[in-house]
Amino acid sequence: MDVLNAIEGRISTRAFLDKPVSAELLGEIIETARWAPSGTNCQPWQVVGVTGNTLNAISDDLVAHDSSGGAESAHYNYYPPEWHEPYLQRRRTCGYMLYEAQGIARDDKPGRMKSMLQNFNFFGAPAGMFFYVPKVMDKGSWVDMGMFIQSVMLAARGLGLETCPQFALAMYPDVVEKHFTPPQDHALVSGLSIGFANPDQPVNNYRTERLAVNEILTCYD
């Protein structure tokens, strides 16, 4: 797959085929993604992959914990404590488009809750990844981690898979880490659902908008 197509065609996939993804295939993805850049080649990343019984157990516990109003224990704040424009409206528009693609009305709170809980089911994906950064490192390593996760998503596309990066899977590290041994003294940055996309599901057939180039780029000569 051409790299431009891989980037422009990537979406946050939220419906997957019932087709297994092996540990070996996850290894192939990391084989490519490990060449992502990092400051002074620190490579400040560790990855935990989950499939099968481990993935199912994590999913069941996350759904139960969130549904019962369990407290969050995320290792960092992903969103600001107070939203400001234009970011607030962009967030709302994204949510409206997601619910519309699923046929969920804006005032359908049960439907929206059911949709949200799909995060914890890995959207039906057969595999997941959890990304960790050392707690002793600073913000630069988190920038490196972003480039690494993007490399994982693009490598996955090159192998015919699709992904959905999810902070939701990092909201409850205490719940997640009951099911595997996490790297010591690391912060959980994000989760990722990964598998073969189901093209027949409407939730995979809408696109969020992006700013125009002239709204992003300023050049000086």
**Host domain of residue 24:** 3-216
Q: Is the four-CA dihedral 194, 196, 200, 205 of positive or negative sign?
A: positive
**pLDDT tens, 190-210?**
999 999 999 999 999 999 999
The per-residue pLDDT for 159 is 97
Residue 109 located in a structural domain: yes
Residue 165 located in a structural domain: yes
Report whether pLDDT(106) > 90.
Answer: no
Structural domains in the chain (count): 1
When pLDDT is cut at 50, 70 and 90, the band that residue 145 belongs to is: very high
Distance CA 213, CA 217 (A): 6
Residue 81 located in a structural domain: yes
The per-residue pLDDT for 29 is 98
**What's the CATH number where 115 sits?**
3.40.109.10
Across the chain, mean pLDDT equals 96
Residue 221 located in a structural domain: no
The distance of Cα 130 from the centroid of its chain, to the nearest Å, equals 9
The per-residue pLDDT for 152 is 98
